[in-house]
Structure 1
Amino acid sequence: MKLAELEEHMQQTIEATQRSFNTIRTGRANASILDRVMVDYYGSPTPLKSLANISVPDSSSITIQPFDPGSMTTIEKAIMMSDLGLTPNNDGSTIRLNIPQLTSDRRKELVKVASKIAEEGKVALRNIRREAVDEVRKQEKNSDISEDESRDQQDTIQQITDKFVKKIDELLSTKEKDITTV
């Protein structure tokens, strides 16, 4: 695995972690909290964002306008079944979600969820590092590279990993600040 490939894989992990962070509610309306909501649309699970137009008219509400008015009830059911803790209001053509202010207990729970997501990201980075180090060791074992080159490459891989772990820590602290800010 080349170093550019290694960095690309790790960057993809950072982006995936960021997307996961975006699905955590922070007390302000954000359309990306609905990214994980899957609707049972004619027997197949479909992402909500491909079935409806989602908009954020103000900081405390989200509006969902289905492309197919017949899917209103299934969309409502999917939102209620999700772990968002939101109750949809249906006015016949649009579904409204009011985003309540978070309680201090809920904020603490969300910080724990964010920490768990960050830890999953770090584990993914460490798995990428392990694969790269194993490849370097295999090259050394096959006498493709010297022991010193192997050690240098492993050190470089570790430095790259540390850089990306630090990025995840920065994302986590930003998200924690978002969650705890009232």
Structure 2
Amino acid sequence: MTDMRNLRPLFEPRSIAVAGASSNPNRTGGIPIRLLLEYGFEGPIYPINPNRDKIGGLKCYPDIASLPETPEFVLFSTPREKNAALFRECAERGVGAVVVMSSGYAEVGESGARMQEELVEIARGAGMLLLGPNCMGVIHVRSRLPATFTISIREDDPLIPGSVAIITQSGALGACLLTGFQDTGTGISSLVSLG
């Protein structure tokens, strides 16, 4: 069982990398970059995309290994076939938490389940926290961490810090609850989509 103090890299990371970052702020790999910048995440943000020099005004890196420091948190918005190699890079660098938004794992059958188990084994062996796969990400309001691709976070209605945490397997349900909380002016502390 994980000691709650060990969850800090997931909810209060000092730095974050987004693997599969997109220059389109409305795509799955672009929404987290846009939200992290809009909400004022205070640590370094490292977009990872071998085909771009910059995204959102931030320098891009081709892979985890080329980052100038080890990120505490890596958000995956990459095709599932690329994730095992990227996980190994995270393990070698000593990343604290990995969140996999990518789909196509156990929910699609035996081959996906094997790929998912490989990620679990890599994370377990390296002592990395793992959320997902096939999840919407994680939001922690006080640490300004909207590491998600949900479009339920609206620029015109910013998240309010509160004491309610939303933990859900379903990303759609999490997004609906988040919208409901925003619409009623109710604050949340966190939203965790397990996948």
TM-score by length of 1: 0.23
Write 1 or 2 for the structure with the bigger share of strand. Answer: 2
Structure having greater relative contact order (Cα 8 Å, sep ≥ 6): 1
Mark the structure with the bigger radius of gyration.
Answer: 1
Structure with higher helix content:
1
Calculate the TM-score normalised by the size of structure 2.
Answer: 0.22
